[in-house]
Amino acid sequence: MAASVTCLSRRRFCSLLLFGALPRSIASSPSGPSGPTARPILIALLSTGHNDSATYESLQTHLKDSLASIVPQLRITIREGGFSSELLVSQVDEIMTLNPSVLICMDLSAAIAASARRRNGNPPIVFLAHDDPLTYKLIQSYARPGNNLTGVTTFRCVDGKMIEILVDAFPNRRRIGYLFDSTAGDSRCNEQAEEAAARLRVDLVKIDVAAHGFIQEMGTRLKPLHLDAAIAPASAPIWQNRHAVVETLNDLSLPVIYESTLFLEEGGLMCYGPVRTDTIPQVAAYVRKILLGEPAGQIPVEQPTLFELAINLRAPHAAHFGISAATLRRADRILQ
Amino acid sequence: MKRESPIFRKYLRMLVISMGGLAFVVGMVHMLLVAETQRKAVAELLNAETRTASGQIQNFMDNTVGSLKWIDDLDEPGTPPDYDAIRDAGYRLLRRAPSVVGLSFFDSRGCERLSISRILPDTRSTCSDVPSAGPRAEILAHARAQGIAFSSVSFPDGSEPHLLLAIASRGQNTGGLVAEINLKVIHDSVAAIRVGHSGIGFVVDASGRLIAHPDQSLVLRQSKVPATFVVGTDSGGLNFATDFEGRRVATASRGIEGPTWRVIVEQPTSEALAPVYAALWTTGALVLAAVLISLFAGLVVAGRLAQPLSQLRDGAARIEKGDLSTQLNIATGDEIEEVADGFNRMARALADSRGHLEAKVADRTAALVATTQKVQQQAGKLTELNAALELRLQDARRRKDDAERANIAKTRFLAVASHDLRQPMHAVSLLVGLLGEKVSEPEMRNIVKKVQGSVDAMGELFNTLLDISKLDAGAIQPAIEEFAIAGLLDRVRRTFEPLAEDKGLLLSVATSTAIVQTDAALLERIIFNLVSNGIRYTHTGSVLLRCEPEDDRLRISVADTGIGIAEEYRERIFDEFFQIANSTQDRSNGLGLGLSIVKRCADLLGHDLSMQSSPSGSRFSIDVPCVGATDHVSGFTPGARAVSERLANAFVVIVDDDADSRFAAEATYRQWGCHVLAVESAHEVIFALEEHLRSPDLIVSDYQLASGHTGAQVIEAVRAYAENCMPAIIVTADVGRLQPNQLEGSCMVLQKPVGSERLKEVSEQLLACDTACDALVLRT
């Protein structure tokens, strides 16, 4: 039985999948006394750091929904790098030995590492990125990414827009801190923020969150700067330490605008950024297309089109910040 | 009964074709009607789906436009725009319309005063410098002309399709609003379109590029709709194409107002045309069943119809073989049974008459044997007669061939002999004439005169022989021309008047102004022969030549009071060498070829020749085409009678390569008192003339000279040397070789032999002619 399943070509598999007859086909093939079994379809998940279980569960649920006809054969394995590049590489190599049908990378760093360790461009990769894959040269274009990979990105550089919103919300606060990540490969967002600040005539104070020990000493390092407000883009250090970051900034009574609603859940005051509630289903849909035989490199990478300005009036000191009426009017969502 | 009999197959075929064919035709018509009805239904369904889908897209566009107009209304004519209010409203719009990516407000100068974006920081401008440029300003310019303008679809960042939509503000000098719309939002509306089980809808722009499709990847890849799709006007019809997945689909399309987009709905043909196929299968099965039933019914009916007929056929076959005792037992109770009864009666009657017939046949056979023997005997005799007849026919063919060969040989002999004899005869004729003038003794002059007569007769015989030989050989081709008959009549009169006077006959030649259309030489030959013949056979009385116009013809008749032509000779009068009352073969009366020549010439010209005769004389008539008349009677008349003096003093140049002829001519002209220069060739004459101070008055030349020159060339050379177009005479043994256009000036052609009197007469005539170089060519 194992031999006959092994000999099932990819094309035949895809055609059978297309017509929804894969289980019957496999069941009707010669089988041993142990009963009908089918070749497992392995999908590997790889993350640079740690993802919450809700994300993995959501992804698995959508995968099973998309691939309902092959659920019995579906196998999913999860690997995490623990924010260690060595561990990430070893996890990638281990995944390669498993020869998965599709590799899902939960962030751009994982996708870059997996793409570099692949042999002959296999397995196909579907990534879920929060950075610009084009800048990192992971893809050739959004329309035709190539390299036998595709994915979804939530990235849109809105640093300049965040400064504009902050100035609108607090017209008298002209000294604004910019918590940026100097290790990020893309400097265009920094430039955009500086241009916006110059045009709006605000004093932009750049603060490197990637500096050694900054997160731990953020309060003591920011206090002497006498900031009126701050913007906190979703860089890796801030994203991974969002609870501590929000708490520290709230302790400083500093009005801050973040890039994700997750920061508001931690007590943040404002956020503006892309809203992608369909990224997980989209990744599942891409996996299905690839298993149906479509080349991953021909599936376009989608960018976010919806953005949300949310204001958390329940945040500490929110009532004392005096957010302008115009900003409250333009807010998409207000948490009270 | 053999069921495979022809009549059975015929009935079976007829029944099957009539019943089964009818069912088949009805079925086919029904199938076509059903197919057309179902096809229309499918087309209506698809078009309805297209209308629904296009309505959804249209609603989206209308709502977007409506929202933008609401903002644009904030820019009121006559009031400075409140850009804070506009920005406020703009953000409300962005919240309500997720597809709007950004907004730009332009003032009346075309300057972008405010820009709102979801991604980039907002900008404001006081527009102190030049107006804005770029695609937004361009599309706004279009909107100012037509209220609302749509740009073509673009793919910024190489990804989602975007559209610029511009709305001009109210008033002539106001600004406008430009919105950038992400069309990816339409995806949800398009993905919701479902036609049947697996039919879908999608939107394309004017170039066929996808704007929205359930498979968003196709849009983001900027795919174009396959070429098999019809992206045109709203025809309301049904089209077929191959979609992105390679499926054969039925499609319908509809345009969207505003942007030049089209909504296309497709459904797999297997699904769309399923009702058509089902109806066709049902009808086809019914048709097949009807055909099978008709086949079965045909087998049964044809068998019943063919069985008694097969019995009849078998009975007839037995009778054919001699079994006259055959009786059929058919009880169908219809006409076939009556036929069977008749058949039985006929068989019995045949048996009865058979005995009588056999006896009669024996009698007839015996008679036939006897007749056959007689026929065989007669056939033997007929065969012998045929063999004898064949021998006679062969003998007749051989005789005919011999006669034809002999005739050809004779003609050839006569032609050659007469030609070769002309040369010496010419010399003899001249010499005899010279001798006659030199002899003064009466007895000798009488002898010379007789010799002269014999020579003339001989010359005439030669001319006649030559003429008949040419006519027989077909060497003469008539040269039809129009000419006045008067000249010919004058020559007849002058030629034969002396002869008639010698015989004591009256020769009367009529005058005529008629212009005839014929060959002048052949007609002259005819008339001369007829007149000559009349004079020859008339001993007393007269010979009359008359010309009588009749319609478009001129009847020329020669009547004599001679011996007439007996009835028994009239059939042969035109035969060669036939002469009446010349049993002694006296050739002084000619050879009997004159009328033969007349007949051949008339036939050659196609003129009617008739003859009337009685014991008191004969009348020959010939009808010649007449084309008109001259206004006077003219002819060749000699000049003043100082001719003899002119000839006596004339300087005559004679050119002839025959020494005897040259000698005779030289002596003759010297006898007449002429100064003569006689040479052999053209070269000699020029050399000889250099020794003379006097220019020649007359040239007499043979035509065909031994040096290769012709008499015409000699005449031309002498005239050129003397620079004088003096008259000339060409004396030739073969007139037929001369072409009239070879001769110029006053020139006369004489056929050898020429007697001295004739030569003298012609010489005097030419010398008397004052118009020496007129285009006058005379032949005789």
Q: What is the mean pLDDT of residues A87-108?
A: 92
Contact of B248 with B240, CB cutoff 8 Å: yes
Q: Based on the number of CB atoms within 10 Å of its own CB, is B145 exposed (0-12), middle (13-18) or buried (19 or more)?
A: exposed
How far is residue B80's CA from residue B74's CA, in Å, rounded to a whole number? 10
In the chain, the amino acid numbered A39 is: R
Would you tell me which residues 202-231 of chain B have a C-beta closer than 8 angstroms to some C-beta of chain A? Answer: 216-217, 220-222
Predicted confidence at residue B587, as pLDDT, reads 53
CB-nearest to B118 from A143, A163, A307 is A307
**Do A305 and B119 count as a contact with CB atoms less than 8 A apart?**
no
Q: Where are the alpha helices (DSSP H) in A230-322?
A: 236-240, 242-251, 261-265, 279-291, 318-321
- Give the confidence band of A252 by pLDDT, cuts at 50, 70, 90: very high
Number of compact structural domains in chain A? 2
Let me know if residue B202 belongs to a domain.
Answer: no
Residues B617 and B666 in one domain: no
Does residue B488 sit at the A interface (CB-CB below 8 Å)? Answer: no
Q: Are residues A251 and A172 in the same domain?
A: yes
- Picking from A163, A192, A300, the nearest residue to B217 by CB comes out as A300
Burial of B567 (0-12, 13-18, 19+ CB in 10 A): exposed
- Which of A199-208, A291-300, B142-151, B475-484 has the least mean pLDDT? B475-484
- Regarding whether A212 and A103 lie in a shared domain, the answer is no
The pLDDT tens digits for B307-323 are 888 888 888 888 888 88
Shortest distance, CA A136 to any CA of chain B (angstroms): 15
Band the pLDDT of A35: cuts 50, 70, 90: very low
Of B709, B720, B724, B715, the closest CA to residue B749 belongs to: B715
Q: What is the mean pLDDT of chain B?
A: 82
The answer on B500 and B615 residing in a single domain is yes
Task: Give the per-residue pLDDT at B554.
Answer: 93
The answer to whether residues B611 and B668 belong to one domain is no
B159–A contact, CB cutoff 8 A: yes
Out of B38-52, B229-243, B348-362, pick the least confident: B229-243
Same domain, B623 and B723: no
Q: Provide the phi-psi class of A321: left if phi over 0, else alpha when psi is between -120 and 50, else beta.
A: alpha
Residue A203 β-bridge partners: A175
Q: Indicate whether A7 belongs to any domain.
A: no
Question: Closest approach of chain A CAs to the CA of B88, in angstroms?
Answer: 7
C-alpha B666 chain-centroid distance: 65
* 3-class secondary-structure state, position B264: strand
Question: pLDDT, tens digit, for every residue of A112-145?
Answer: 999 999 888 889 999 998 888 888 889 998 989 9
Share of chain B above pLDDT 70, in %: 89
For residue B652, is pLDDT > 80?
yes
Rg of chain A on CA atoms, in Å: 23
Q: What are phi and psi of A237, to 5 degrees?
A: -60, -40
pLDDT-derived band at B581 (thresholds 50, 70, 90) equals low
Residues B713 and B621 in one domain: no
Closest residue in chain A to residue B162, using alpha carbons only: A305
Question: Cβ distance B7 to B310 under 8 Å?
Answer: yes
pLDDT the model gives residue B586: 55
Is residue A46 located within the same domain as residue A106?
A: yes
B217 contacts A298? CB cut-off 8 A: yes
Q: What pLDDT was estimated at residue B741?
A: 57
A311 with A280, same domain: the answer is no
Residues B29-51, mean pLDDT to the nearest whole number:
83
Is B121 at the interface with chain A, CB within 8 A?
yes
> Of B84, B88, B158, which has the smallest distance from its Cβ to A141's Cβ?
B158
Which of A283, A302, A311, A327 is the best substitution to test chain B (most B C-beta atoms within 10 A)?
A: A302
For residue A263, which of A303, A214, A230 has the smallest C-alpha distance?
A230
Cβ contacts of B182 on chain A, cutoff 8 Å: 305
Same domain for A264 and A118, yes or no, is no
Considering the domain boundaries, does residue B481 fall inside one?
A: yes
In a domain, A35, yes or no: no
For residue B213, the chain A residues in CB contact (below 8 A) are none
**Token pair recorded at residue A91:** 């996890």
Q: How far apart are CA B466 and CA B458, in angstroms?
A: 12
Question: Strand order of the sheet with strand B698-702?
Answer: B675-679, B651-655, B698-702, B728-732, B747-751, B777-779
A221 and chain B in contact, CB less than 8 A: no
Q: What confidence score (pLDDT) does residue A87 get?
A: 92
Q: Is B246 on the interface with A (CB under 8 A)?
A: no
When comparing pLDDT for B612 and A19, which is higher?
A: B612
Same domain assignment for residues B516 and B616: yes
Strand partners, B268: B249
**Do residues A234 and A217 both lie within one domain?**
yes
Q: Which CA distances in Å does B522 have to B280, B472, B577, B600, B712? A: 96, 14, 20, 10, 23
Classify residue A32: in a domain, yes or no. no
Do B615 and B705 lie in one domain? The reply is no
Burial label, A163 (beta-carbon count in 10 A; 0-12, 13-18, 19+): buried
Q: Distance (Å, rounded) from C-alpha B302 to C-alpha B12?
A: 5
List the single residue in A with minimal CA-CA distance to B92. A330
What pLDDT shows up at residue A124?
A: 95
Q: What number of other Cβ atoms are within 10 A of residue B491's Cβ?
A: 18
* Same domain flag for A182 and A312: yes
Q: Do A142 and B159 touch (CB under 8 A)?
A: yes
In a domain, B173, yes or no: no
- Describe the crossing of helices B335-438 and B756-768 by its angle, rounded to 10 degrees: 90
CA A189 to chain B, closest CA, distance in angstroms equals 11
Residue B716 lies in a domain: yes
**Does any domain span residue A19?**
no
Tell me the per-residue pLDDT of A149-196, one tens digit each, with 9 for 90 and over: 999 998 888 999 999 999 999 999 989 999 998 887 677 888 999 999
Which pLDDT score is estimated for B488? 86
- Please report, for the domain that includes residue B757, its CATH number: 3.40.50.2300
Give the mean model confidence (pLDDT) for residues B83-110. 86
Note whether A163 and A140 are same-domain residues. Answer: no
Range of the domain at B729: 643-779
Number of CB pairs, chain A paired with chain B, less than 8 A apart: 66
Chain B window 73-112: which residues touch A at a Cβ cutoff of 8 Å? 84, 88, 91-92, 95, 98, 101
Residue B197, domain member (yes or no): no
- Cβ burial, residue A7 (10 Å; 0-12/13-18/19+): exposed
| B411 inside domain | no
Residue of B98, B119, B221 with shortest CB distance to A144: B221
Q: Is A303 on the interface with B (CB under 8 A)?
A: yes
Which CATH number do you get for residue B601?
Answer: 3.30.565.10
Domain boundary among B597, B629, B661: B629
Contact A329 B88 (CB under 8 A): yes
State whether residue B160 sits within 8 Å of chain A by CB.
Answer: yes
In chain A, what residues touch B216 (CB-CB under 8 Å)?
Answer: 300, 302
Number of domains in chain B: 2
- B58-78 pLDDT, tens per residue? 888 888 888 888 877 777 777
Q: What is the DSSP string of A214-235?
A: TTTTHHHHHGGG--SEEEE---
pLDDT in tens, A213-227: 888 999 999 999 999
- Are residues A284 and A219 part of one domain? no
- Give B25 or B1, the one with higher predicted confidence: B25
Question: In this structure, are B586 and B625 located in the same domain?
Answer: yes
Contact B119 A144 (CB under 8 A): no
Say whether B197 sits in a helix, a strand or coil.
coil
Confirm whether A27 is domain-assigned.
no
Position with higher pLDDT, A331 vs B590: A331
Cβ atoms within 10 Å, residue A92: 22
Q: Is B155 on the interface with A (CB under 8 A)?
A: yes
List the CATH number of the domain containing A247: 3.40.50.2300
Residue B174: per-residue pLDDT: 67
Task: Return the pLDDT at B76.
Answer: 73
Selecting from A161, A199, A330 the residue whose C-beta is nearest the C-beta of B119 gives A161
The C-alpha atoms of residue B272 and residue B269 are separated, in whole angstroms, by 5
Chain B residues whose CB is inside 8 A of the A160 CB are 120-121
Task: Give yes or no: residues A318 and A235 share one domain.
Answer: yes
How far apart are alpha carbons A87 and A48 in whole angstroms? Answer: 9
Same domain? A164 vs A177: yes
| Spatial CA neighbour of B732 closest among B743, B723, B721, B724 | B743
Q: Are residues B482 and B607 in the same domain?
A: yes
Output phi, psi for A109, to 5 deg: -60, -40
In a domain, A73, yes or no: yes
Specify whether the CB–CB gap between B489 and B603 falls below 8 A. Answer: no
Same structural domain for residues B750 and B671?
A: yes
* In a domain? residue A17: no
Task: Answer yes or no: is pLDDT of A8 > 60.
Answer: no
Could you tell me the residue range of the domain that residue A79 belongs to? 40-154+276-298
Query: Could you tell me if residue B335 is inside a domain?
Result: no
Query: How much is the mean pLDDT over chain A?
Result: 84
Same domain, B482 and B593: yes
Give the residue from chain B lying closest to A195, CA to CA: B121
The verdict on B600 and B679 lying in the same domain is: no
Q: Which residues contact B573 (CB under 8 A, 6 or more apart)?
A: B565, B580, B595, B611
Minimum CA–CA partner of B94 in chain A: A330
* Structural domain contains residue A46: yes
Q: Which pLDDT score, from 0 to 100, does residue B80 have?
A: 77
Q: Does B117 touch chain A (CB under 8 A)?
A: yes
pLDDT of residue A131: 83
Section B15-24 average pLDDT: 82
Residues A169 and A311 in one domain: yes
pLDDT band at A244 (very low <50, low <70, confident <90, very high): very high
